Amino acid sequence: MNEKKRIVIAEDHTLMRTGLRMLLAQEPDIDVVGEADNGRDAIRLAGELLPDLILMDLTMPGTNGLEAIAEIRKRFSAVRILVLTIHKTDEYIQEALRGGADGYVLKEASQDDLRGAVRSVLNGKSYLSPDVSQKVISGYLSSGPKSAAGTDTSWDQLSEREREVLKLVAEGRTNREIASHLNLSIKTVEKHRSGFMKKLNLHNAAGVTTYAIENGLVRR
C-alpha cells in the first residue's frame, strides 16, 4: 500500500481550515498532518514535519504567505507549495511564482478544481487556475513578445540542450517524457534541467513556465 501524501494547511481563517481539512480527508491517500494560521508557523511546520505539500494562503498575520513561500523554498526545497488565495492581481501571482510556489489556485475554485490542483502539484507538475493562467499570458502579450535572446542576457548563458529542455519543461513535460523526446537518459535531462534552473535562478516548474511565457518561448 502506498504511503499517504502528507499535507499542511496554512490559512488564518479557522472555518476555511476546517473546510479544507474535511475536503482533503475524503481522499484516501492524503493525510493532513498540520495546520498553521500564520506564515511563521508554516515555515516551522515545514521543517518539523517535512510534508509533501503545503496549501498556502497569502494574506496572514505576521509573516505573510509570500515571505513564507520564499523561506520554505530556500530551506526545504523538497516541499511542494500550492497557493490558495483570493488574490488574482499580477503582483501577487508573479511574486508567488517567482518566490517558489508550484501552483496558484483561487479560493473561488470548485472542490473538484482544488482536488485537481492538489493532485497536479503532488505529482510534480505545476498548476495555475484558468483565470491566473490567462493573466500570466495577458501580461506577456501586453508587454509584447520578446525574442528568445531578448534583453535577458541570462538566456545567452544556456547551452542549446538546456534551452531545449527548458522549453519542454515549460510545456508541462515530465523528465521521462523529455528524455524520450530528446533520446537522452533521465539523468542527463535532470542535469540539464538543474543547470538552466541554477543559471536563471528558477526554483520550480511554475517559475520555468512563467519565464518561458515572459520571454516568448512558449504560449499557453
More confident residue, 147 or 65: 65
Q: How many domains does the chain have?
A: 2
| pLDDT for position 218 | 62
How far is Cα 80 from Cα 29, in angstroms, rounded to an integer? 16
The residue out of 84, 107, 131 marking a domain boundary is: 131
| pLDDT for position 219 | 52
Cell of 142: 501586453
How far is Cα 191 from Cα 189, in angstroms, rounded to an integer? 5
Q: What percent of the chain has pLDDT over 90?
A: 46
Neighbours of 31 (CB within 10 A): 15
The residue out of 131, 157, 178 marking a domain boundary is: 131
More confident residue, 76 or 218: 76
CATH code for the domain of 91: 3.40.50.2300
Let me know the angle formed at the C-alpha of 124 by 3 and 33, rounded to the nearest 5 degrees.
40
106-116: per-residue pLDDT in tens?
A: 999 999 999 99
| pLDDT for position 3 | 86
182-205: per-residue pLDDT in tens?
A: 888 999 999 999 999 888 888 887
More confident residue, 118 or 154: 118
CATH code for the domain of 182: 1.10.10.10
Q: Is residue 201 part of a domain?
A: yes
Q: Is the pLDDT of residue 152 over 80?
A: no
Q: Is the pLDDT of residue 140 over 60?
A: no
| pLDDT for position 56 | 96
- Assess whether 201 and 158 both reside in one domain: yes
- Assess whether 113 and 205 both reside in one domain: no
55 with 26: CB under 8 angstroms? no
| pLDDT for position 144 | 46
Residue span of the structural domain in which 89 resides: 5-131
Cell of 163: 534551452
- Assess whether 160 and 200 both reside in one domain: yes
| pLDDT for position 10 | 97
b/e per residue 72-96 (b: at least 16 CB within 10 A) = bbeebeebbbbbbbebbeeebbebb
DSSP 109: S
5-56: per-residue pLDDT in tens?
A: 999 999 999 999 999 999 999 999 999 999 999 999 999 999 999 999 999 9
Q: Is the pLDDT of residue 67 over 80?
A: yes
More confident residue, 48 or 209: 48
Q: Is the pLDDT of residue 214 over 90?
A: no
